[in-house]
Structure 1
Amino acid sequence: MLGAVGAGAVVLLALVALYSLHPLGLHGRFPVAQIIAFKGVLAFGLLAIGLLLGGSALAVLLLGSRRDRARATVGVGEADDSDDSDGTDGRVVGADDESVGGTRVGRNGAVSPDRASDQDPDQDQDAVPPRFPIRRRASAVVLAGAIAIAFAGSAHAVSLLDRGMRSGEVTASGEAATSSDFTVMTVNMARSRADAQAVADLAVRTGSDVLAMPETTVELAGRVRDLIEASAGGQFEVYSNGEGPTASTSMIVSADLGPYEQVAMGPTGGFGRVHLVPIGDDGRQPVLVAAHPPPPVRANMTEWRAENIGIVGLCQRATRPTVIAGDLNMTVDHSVLESIGDQMSVCRDAGIDARIGGVGTWPSDVPAWAGTVIDHVLVTGGLRGDVGEVADIPGSDHRAVVVSLRLNGTGDVEAERRSRLIDEG
């Protein structure tokens, strides 16, 4: 009974993590929001549990069947022997023997137990009761649950593989960035303690034109900017919002993308947000946003939902190509991103386009398959991820995410929406 209840509970957990329960709001509730974030652990953990439980239940069922067959064979043999002898001294009991008081008396006065007198007349001599009926029924239930658990784990694994679980390698093209071909990096600097030189080296090697840097003071961002310019040349601008090593978010942008103006943001529940809009362009220059919502812990759930809904809202309301990058503290499995379901052709995760969407970005001290993907580059307006890379940064508990972006089409967001509606209708 307990095994069946436990199996049912695990199956329910697997289904909660696997299927969209957005109408119930569970994906945005504590602790479901934490459980579904670690999709790799769910996939491999559920597969292991399913195989272990299934193997154990199958072994019990097979062993019980073998014992029943052996017992049936022994029972039939004993029944055959009882037809020919009395089972005591090997003497054959004849027709002239008499039964007196529960004993059988032969002509020669020999006395032997009378088996017929001890036999319950209602009992079938040939019937052999099953050895472990209750255990076998429970094992069958556990086996069915194990199959469901393994199926859920397999579905999680397939989903991760579809998003991409191997990091590529982004290399600098050597050409100046344009609004239709540029590279974005996001890296959480871990309370401004990450190695500035390592970040600058990665930016130079990958040719990153935009760096979204949560938990980065303006001073640290300026130092990274100076290292990039000293190594790769060119000119970069630094923008920042927030105070302190944790609450600050900074952004470094190549001048090749054109001039930008930082838009003042109202109060948010996050740790600073940088919002940059182009100045006097042709409509193709992208809007750039660096964000860092609070983590989905019990005390922050309201702020976490509100901040991420606001971020996704920026993506949905975009009228030109837009990039939203940073430590968003959510995965594509959370209800906030699922709620834009049919909008994903307009607001999309460029990391999935680049086949790195299943590589864990936090924490960096566990294997990438066991981590959660909470650092993102979201894009709109025809922008698509081309090549992606996930890299370790000394001193940071997050991995950096780098995606080279290309603009497909004109960048007209409204035209894309109309085209999508026509295709769906």
Structure 2
Amino acid sequence: MLCVLLVVRLTGLDAGTPFAVPVVLFPYAAALSVLALTTMIAVPALRSLWPVIVAALVTAAYAVLLIPRFIPHHQQHIPAQAPELRVATVNTHVGKADTRALVQLVKSERIDVLAVQELPSAGIAALAEAGLDKVLPHQELHPENDSSLYSRIPLTHGGPLKADTAWPQTTAQVTVGGRAVRLVAVHTYYPLGDAQRWTRDLTALTSVAHDSGPDTVFLGDFNASLDHAPMRELLTSGGLTDTHAELGKGWARTWPANKSPLPPLVQLDHVLHGSGLAGISVSERTVPGTDHRAVIATLALLPTNERTG
């Protein structure tokens, strides 16, 4: 099984296939490969040359693929006066998230833009009653499309994204430091339901990201980890950077949350940004009532001469 997952990860066989489900456990398979190699070396009865060599090669391959996300990317110089944008995303689990806790999180973390997924009309009303409208008064709300945006900063150019996704994504712009930053609140289809539909969603978002320019932020529930080929294609061809990987926080886990006794196991929720921005910080927070942890990131807008890519 360890070799099968490695082959899937190396070849991208998860795109549009049932392999999209197990490949999310790739980091755990890497840990098992280390355990298997250590056991073979430590136990004399298992110490045979060729099996040890094969196990060592498999473990090395896992390490090559995973270690980079635990090492912060080369950080370009971020001027002290660079404008910052503090964003957050949370899947509210069909409006079951604790609204007061979510509003308190927005206040305590000084969030500028909040992307929400699975927020029905009743959930919008509950958040308004809890006071979110007073904190983030500018809104692009689309409960019929499953993703919405709340903002402290005025929103412009808002509406459903024109892309071939299972349901429309919500987009808008904010102006920060005199520059327009495009926002896309993401909620893709899920691979367990239809791996081909999920792949088409991410492919459509890749095309949008490619045409969006450097001042772009895609944030939300991608139903994908960095070990999924369509997600990696979104990053490379779409010109986006995953903030967790950028800052060397490769062991972030956002799902499932509040599912005792299970801890969060995998990262499905991300903040991705274009080359006009750089990650300063990123973290996860637990919001009672939802099965996804919230992701919070602080992004700096880079001067034109400091951009990469």
Aligning the two structures, in what range does the TM-score lie when normalised by the shorter sequence? Answer: 0.7 to 0.9
Q: Which amino acid aligns with 1:185?
A: A
Q: Which amino acid aligns with 1:16?
A: V
Match for residue 50 of structure 2? 141
Is 2:259 the partner of 1:376? no
Q: Which amino acid aligns with 1:211?
A: L
1:42 to 29, 46, 53: 29
Matched-pair contact (CA < 8 Å) for 1:328–1:376: yes
**Partner Cα distance (1:55, 1:240) in 2:** 58
Is 2:159 the partner of 1:263? yes
**Counterpart mapping for 1:10-409 below 5 A:** 10-17=2-9, 19=10, 21-22=11-12, 26-56=13-43, 58-60=44-46, 139-155=48-64, 158-162=67-71, 180-225=83-128, 227-229=130-132, 234-243=135-144, 248-254=146-152, 257-266=153-162, 268-277=164-173, 284-297=179-192, 299-319=193-213, 321-339=215-233, 343=237, 346-364=239-257, 365=259, 366-368=262-264, 371-409=265-303
Inter-CA distance 226–323: structure 2 relative to 1 (3 Å threshold): farther
Q: CA offsets per residue over residues 2-55 of structure 1, 9 Å max, x none?
A: xxxxxxx633533433x3x24xxx131423322322233122122223323444
Q: Choose 1 or 2 for highest CA Rg.
A: 1
- Structure showing the higher strand proportion among its residues: 2
**Partner Cα distance (1:162, 1:311) in 2:** 27
Q: CA offsets per residue over residues 303-335 of structure 1, 9 Å max, x none?
A: 111111111222111136111111011222322
Task: Give the CA RMSD over aligned residues.
Answer: 3.2
Inter-CA distance 304–163: structure 2 relative to 1 (3 Å threshold): farther
| Relative contact order, higher structure (CA 8 A, sep 6+) | 2
**Partner Cα distance (2:108, 2:274) in 1:** 26
Matched-pair contact (CA < 8 Å) for 1:194–1:396: yes
**Partner Cα distance (1:35, 1:349) in 2:** 21
Shift of 1:229: 5.0
Matched-pair contact (CA < 8 Å) for 2:173–2:182: yes
4+ residue runs over 4 A deviation: 340-344
Inter-CA distance 143–201: structure 2 relative to 1 (3 Å threshold): same
SS in 1 for 2:91: coil
Matched-pair contact (CA < 8 Å) for 1:327–1:376: yes
Inter-CA distance 333–163: structure 2 relative to 1 (3 Å threshold): farther
Inter-CA distance 355–267: structure 2 relative to 1 (3 Å threshold): closer
**Partner Cα distance (2:68, 2:287) in 1:** 27
Matched-pair contact (CA < 8 Å) for 1:11–1:149: yes
In structure 2, the gaps of 5 or more residues are 74-80
Match for residue 79 of structure 1? none
Shift of 1:251: 1.6
Matched-pair contact (CA < 8 Å) for 1:49–1:149: no
**Partner Cα distance (2:70, 2:28) in 1:** 14
Q: Which amino acid aligns with 1:149?
A: V
**Partner Cα distance (1:274, 1:291) in 2:** 7
**Partner Cα distance (1:147, 1:235) in 2:** 52
Q: Which amino acid aligns with 1:13?
A: L
Shift of 1:234: 4.8
Matched-pair contact (CA < 8 Å) for 1:328–1:374: yes
Matched-pair contact (CA < 8 Å) for 2:86–2:112: yes
Q: Which amino acid aligns with 1:212?
A: A
Aligned length: 299
**Partner Cα distance (1:248, 1:12) in 2:** 35
Q: Which amino acid aligns with 1:199?
A: L
Matched-pair contact (CA < 8 Å) for 2:285–2:293: yes
Q: CA offsets per residue over residues 272-304 of structure 1, 9 Å max, x none?
A: 41111459x99712111111111112x512211
In structure 1, the gaps of 5 or more residues are 1-8, 62-138, 165-177, 421-425
Shift of 1:407: 0.2
SS in 1 for 2:71: helix
